[in-house]
Amino acid sequence: MEELATIDALRARLAASRARGRPVGLVATMGALHAGHAALVADVRRHAVLVVMSSFVNPLQFGPTDDFERYPRDPDRDRDVAAAAGVDILFAPTAGEMYRPGTTVRVVAGEAASRWEGAIRPGHFDGVLTVVAKLFNIVQPDVTAFGQKDIQQVTLIRRMIAELDFPVELRVVPIVRDTDGLAMSSRNRYLNPAERRAALALPNALRAVVRAWEQGETDAARLAAVAEALLRGESAISVDYVAVVDANAMAPVPEATAGTIVAAAIRSGSARLIDNVILGERRP
């Protein structure tokens, strides 16, 4: 695996590869790698000859009360995980390399970012789309993979690709879970054992929603109530939202159908955790 830290070096390296007609894949991460990230690499690997992983804790997507400073950073371990996952080029720029002094231009995520994660983290998705647009322009990938775990992010990246005409194929990879059912996340490191046990209410609640839907419940409010009852039954966590929404606008739907998203966010200890299920697809 090669490691590069500057945009110029990466561009030069990719130009040589592209000239030989080798399709390029991109997996964008913030490091602190786990099996969820490795699943994205495995997916992209099937559609690209050269796989680039970016590892960059993007300051633009963190608000003043977010966990930017303490976000886990472990470059040595990341190097091993990325190499084992099959990454060809690890691109780990500094913040100064990605955002030259005086940078002010941003991508505006728009209406579908106004709810849920976007409401709780104002400006978050503008920061995400800005860095992803930069990475698309730097790497010019033929294919890219993002995780279903960050479902509103997937919606907004899909829309950005369509609305800003990026010539890249988006692949969405199902959520990778730990054996206890918790969706893998770099932020799981913040949980102590008791907080982690309490956080299992999140996947449990989503499983209960899927069961209710499979038993014929389609009323969105009643499906949300199933999840909320289970989450509120776990007194050690707090609930940010339970959303029953469509996949294009992240807007609430009155009736759930196959493809409807049920997304939820909780806090356990000092960790903010998100999870979701797409009705009619793989169970959580």
- Residues lying near ligand AMP in the complex (CB under 6 A): 29-30, 36-37, 39-40, 146-147, 149-150, 173, 175-176, 183-186
- In the complex with ligand AMP, the residue whose CB is nearer, 59 or 233, is 59
- Looking at 34, 37, 47, 124, which residue is catalytic? 37
Burial of 95 (0-12, 13-18, 19+ CB in 10 A): exposed
- H/E element, 2: strand 2-4
- In the complex with ligand AMP, the residue whose CB is nearer, 66 or 228, is 66
* Contacts with 106 (C-beta within 8 Å, 6 or more apart), sequence order: 60, 126, 127, 130
Strand runs (DSSP E) across 9-127, as ranges?
24-29, 50-55, 89-91
The neighbouring-strand residues paired with 275 are 264
Residue 47 known to be catalytic: no
Minimal CB distance residue for ligand AMP: 147
- In the complex with ligand AMP, the residue whose CB is nearer, 155 or 260, is 155
Task: Give least dist CB 219 to ligand AMP, A.
Answer: 29
Burial of 274 (0-12, 13-18, 19+ CB in 10 A): buried
- In the complex with ligand AMP, the residue whose CB is nearer, 168 or 225, is 168
Task: Give least dist CB 76 to ligand AMP, A.
Answer: 17
The CA distance from 255 to 244, in Å, is 9
The CA distance from 244 to 224, in Å, is 7
The neighbouring-strand residues paired with 91 are 4, 54
The CA distance from 219 to 229, in Å, is 16
Task: Give least dist CB 154 to ligand AMP, A.
Answer: 7
Q: Are 95 and 9 in contact (CB under 8 A)?
A: no
Task: Give least dist CB 186 to ligand AMP, A.
Answer: 5
Task: Give least dist CB 23 to ligand AMP, A.
Answer: 19
The CA distance from 218 to 45, in Å, is 38
- In the complex with ligand AMP, the residue whose CB is nearer, 184 or 277, is 184
Q: List active site positions.
A: 37
